[in-house]
Chains A and B, each alone.
Chain A
Amino acid sequence: MFDYEDGKLDWLAAGLPSEGTNAQRPRAGDIARKDVPTCRLDERLGDVRDRARGAGWDACVVLNEERVVFGLLRSKELKASPDLRIEEAMRPGPSTFRPFVSIEEMAAFMTEHDLDSSPITTSDGRLVGLLRRQDAAKAALELHEREHHSNGGQT
């Protein structure tokens, strides 16, 4: 047995396993897509766009060698001039969210703010995956229905 000195939030933020009733509820890190395309700062936007769209994505996460998130290319950024370097085209330092955040909260915020995707990272900034609004909303709805039915229809 040992004490994890950085605390419970940091443990959860690293995507490490947890127990208890709440551990069964889907979290942002569970629903985030791990197969999101990634790229480096010195790549050419046209090449990255072709690669992302070829894989069926309209987004790409910009990482360094240690998988730390440096930037994000959403639909708008991917439409820029193909000759731009990624560091010139990306949204630098995007807001990122921890894997333990409730999927219901993320779905609600993403809907309210009309945001298509949000990067999910550990507390030291390493990419876990990209959470898409449609995936978050679907998971939140399924969770609501499951809990509603298991509660005998009572809210």
Chain B
Amino acid sequence: MTEHEVALACATCESSIDGCEFCEEPGCRAPICYHCLAEALGQAMAHPHAHGG
């Protein structure tokens, strides 16, 4: 990361991201990662527990 780049975190899960997956705008106030966005929009389902329960 250069000194001009600002660390960005998903507003939902707080994981480190390069940019907002929804709007892709660098100044986004509520950045969201791919996985949280996919779950929020019902495009993917939350990963089940490893034991399948």
Contacts and interface: CB of A to CB of B under 8 A. Distances in A.
Interface of A: 9, 13, 91, 94-95, 97-98, 100-102, 105-106, 109, 112-115
A113 B22 contact: yes
B24 A95 contact: yes
Interface of B: 20-25, 28, 30, 37, 40-45
Nearest to B43: A98
B16 to A, nearest CB: 18
Nearest to B41: A101
B42 A101 contact: yes
Given A112-B30, A113-B28, A102 B22 contact: no
Nearest to A101: B41
Contact of B22 (A9, A91, A100, A115): A115
